[in-house]
A and B are shown apart, each in its own frame.
Chain A
Amino acid sequence: MSAPNKSYDPVEVEALKPEVVEQARDEAIAAFAAAGTLDELKQAKVAHTGDRSPLSLANREIGALPPHAKAAAGKLIGQARGAVNQALAKRQAELEAERDARVLVEEAVDVTLPFDRAPRGARHPLTTMAERIEDTFVAMGYQVAEGPEVEAEWLNFDALNLGPDHPARSMQDTFFVQAPDGSADSGVVLRTQTSPVQARTMLDREPPIYVICPGRVYRTDELDATHTPVFRQVEGLAVDEGITFADLKGTIEVLVEKLIGDHLELRWRPSYFPFTEPSAEVDLQCFVCLGASVGNPDRPCRTCSSEGWIELGGCGVVNPRVLVACGVDPNRYSGFAFGLGLERILMNRHNVADMRDMVEGDVRFTLPFGMEI
Chain B
Amino acid sequence: MRVPLSWLREYVDLPAGATGRDVAERLVRAGLEVETVEQIGADLKGPLVVGEVLSIEELTGFKKPIRHCFVNVGAANGTGEPQEIVCGATNFAVGDKVVVVLPGAVLPGPFPIAARQTYGHTSAGMICSARELGMGDEHNGIIVLPPEYEPGTDAVELLQLVDEVLDIAVTPDRGYCLSMRGVAREAAAAYGLPLADPALLDVPPANSFGYLVKVNDPAGCDRFVARTVVGVDPNAKSPLWLQRRLQKSGIRPISLTVDITNYVMLEVGQPLHAYDKQRVNGPITVRRAEQGETLTTLDGVERKLAAEDLLICDNSGPIGLAGVMGGASTEILDPAAGPGTTEVIIEAAHFDPVAIARTAKRHKLPSEASKRFERGVDPEAARAAAQRAVDLLVLIAGGTDEAGVTDIAAPHPVRTITIAADLPDRVAGTAYGRETVTRRLQEVGCSVAGADVLEVTPPTWRPDLTDPYDLAEEVIRLEGYDNVPARMPNVPPGKGLTEGQRINRRIGVALAAAGYVEVNNYPFLGETAWDALGLEADDRRRRTVKLVNPLNDEEPALRTTLLPGLLGALRRNIGRGNTDLAIYETGTVFLPKDELSVAPRPAVDHRPSAEELAELDAALPDQPRRIAVALAGERLPSGWWGKGSEASWADAVEAARTVARAAGVELTVRQGQLAPWHPGRCAELVVAGTDRVVGHAGELHPRVVKALGLPARSAAMEIDVDLLTADGAERVSGPTVSGFPVATQDVALIVDTAVPAADVEAALRAGAGELLEALRLFDVFTGEQVGEGKKSLAYALRFRAVDRTLTADEATAAREAAVAEAVARTGAVLRGA
Interface of A toward B, CB cutoff 8 Å: 113-124, 126-127, 131, 134, 138, 140-144, 146, 148-155, 158-159, 161, 163-168, 170-171, 175-180, 183-188, 190, 203, 208, 210, 216, 220, 222, 229-230, 238, 240, 243-247, 249-251, 253-254, 268-272, 277-281, 294-295, 317, 319-321, 324-327, 334, 358-364, 366-367, 371
- Is the CB–CB distance between B600 and A119 below 8 Å? no
- Is the CB–CB distance between B604 and A278 below 8 Å? no
Contact of B621 with A by CB under 8 A = yes
CB contact list, B589-609 vs A, under 8 A: 590, 596-602, 604-608
- Is the CB–CB distance between B546 and A269 below 8 Å? no
Picked from B517, B519, B600, B639, the residue with its CB within 8 Å of the CB of A114 is B639
Picked from A114, A166, A277, the residue with its CB within 8 Å of the CB of B470 is A277
Q: List 13 A-B contacts (CB under 8 A).
A: A118-B515, A142-B494, A144-B501, A171-B172, A175-B549, A178-B547, A184-B548, A187-B619, A188-B620, A272-B174, A362-B578, A363-B519, A363-B583
Residue of B354, B588, B620, B644 contacting most chain A CB atoms (<10 Å): B620
Contact of A177 with B548 at beta-carbon distance under 8 Å, contacts A148-B620, A203-B607 already known:
yes
Contact of B485 with A by CB under 8 A = yes
Residue of A nearest to B595 (CB): A180
Contact of A363 with B599 at beta-carbon distance under 8 Å, contacts A167-B357, A176-B549 already known:
no
- Is the CB–CB distance between B551 and A272 below 8 Å? no
Contact of B263 with A by CB under 8 A = no
- Is the CB–CB distance between A127 and B508 below 8 Å? yes
Picked from A143, A254, A268, the residue with its CB within 8 Å of the CB of B481 is A268
Please, how many angstroms separate the alpha-carbon atoms of A244 and B428 in the complex?
5
Least Cβ–Cβ distance between A215 and chain B, in angstroms? 10
Contact of A325 with B604 at beta-carbon distance under 8 Å, contacts A113-B640, A245-B484 already known:
yes
- Is the CB–CB distance between A143 and B494 below 8 Å? yes
CB contact list, B490-512 vs A, under 8 A: 490-498, 501, 505, 508-509, 511-512
Contact of A121 with B616 at beta-carbon distance under 8 Å, contacts A246-B430, A270-B30, A324-B606 already known:
no
Among the listed stretches B61-69, B310-318, B569-577, B791-799, which one makes contact with chain A, having 4 or more residues with CB under 8 Å of it? B569-577
Contact of B92 with A by CB under 8 A = no
Picked from A124, A152, A153, A268, the residue with its CB within 8 Å of the CB of B519 is A124
Among the listed stretches B241-249, B471-479, B710-718, B752-760, which one makes contact with chain A, having 4 or more residues with CB under 8 Å of it? B471-479
Please, how many angstroms separate the alpha-carbon atoms of A134 and B427 in the complex?
26
- Is the CB–CB distance between B172 and A124 below 8 Å? no
Picked from B495, B548, B587, B637, the residue with its CB within 8 Å of the CB of A176 is B548
Residue of B nearest to A335 (CB): B489
- Is the CB–CB distance between A243 and B572 below 8 Å? no
Among the listed stretches B194-202, B438-446, B452-460, B520-528, which one makes contact with chain A, having 4 or more residues with CB under 8 Å of it? B520-528
- Is the CB–CB distance between B469 and A320 below 8 Å? yes
Residue of A nearest to B587 (CB): A216
Which secondary structure dominates chain A's binding surface? mixed
Picked from A116, A178, A366, the residue with its CB within 8 Å of the CB of B517 is A366
Interface residues on B, range: 35 or more
Residue of A nearest to B464 (CB): A272
- Is the CB–CB distance between B508 and A117 below 8 Å? no
Chain B residue numbers with a CB within 8 Å of A138 are 494, 496-497
- Is the CB–CB distance between A270 and B481 below 8 Å? yes
Contact of B558 with A by CB under 8 A = yes
Please, how many angstroms separate the alpha-carbon atoms of A131 and B518 in the complex?
15
Please, how many angstroms separate the alpha-carbon atoms of A168 and B545 in the complex?
26
Least Cβ–Cβ distance between B194 and chain A, in angstroms? 22
Contact of B6 with A by CB under 8 A = no
- Is the CB–CB distance between B521 and A243 below 8 Å? no
Please, how many angstroms separate the alpha-carbon atoms of A363 and B566 in the complex?
12
- Is the CB–CB distance between A246 and B429 below 8 Å? yes
Please, how many angstroms separate the alpha-carbon atoms of A295 and B488 in the complex?
36
Contact of B219 with A by CB under 8 A = no
- Is the CB–CB distance between A326 and B607 below 8 Å? yes
- Is the CB–CB distance between B518 and A142 below 8 Å? no
Residue of B nearest to A116 (CB): B637
Picked from A118, A119, A122, A251, the residue with its CB within 8 Å of the CB of B488 is A251
- Is the CB–CB distance between A154 and B469 below 8 Å? no
Chain A residue numbers with a CB within 8 Å of B508 are 123, 127
Contact of B516 with A by CB under 8 A = yes
> Lowest 5 CB-CB distances: which A-B pairs, in order?
A270-B31, A244-B429, A327-B607, A246-B429, A187-B599
Chain A residue numbers with a CB within 8 Å of B644 are 117
- Is the CB–CB distance between B619 and A186 below 8 Å? yes
Chain B residue numbers with a CB within 8 Å of A367 are 517
Picked from B482, B509, B522, B583, the residue with its CB within 8 Å of the CB of A359 is B522
Contact of B33 with A by CB under 8 A = yes
Picked from B487, B491, B639, B641, the residue with its CB within 8 Å of the CB of A249 is B487
- Is the CB–CB distance between B497 and A155 below 8 Å? no
- Is the CB–CB distance between A121 and B488 below 8 Å? no
Contact of B131 with A by CB under 8 A = no
Chain B residue numbers with a CB within 8 Å of A148 are 588, 620, 623
- Is the CB–CB distance between A280 and B620 below 8 Å? no
Least Cβ–Cβ distance between B755 and chain A, in angstroms? 33
Contact of B833 with A by CB under 8 A = no
Contact of A121 with B469 at beta-carbon distance under 8 Å, contacts A152-B620, A158-B601, A253-B486 already known:
no
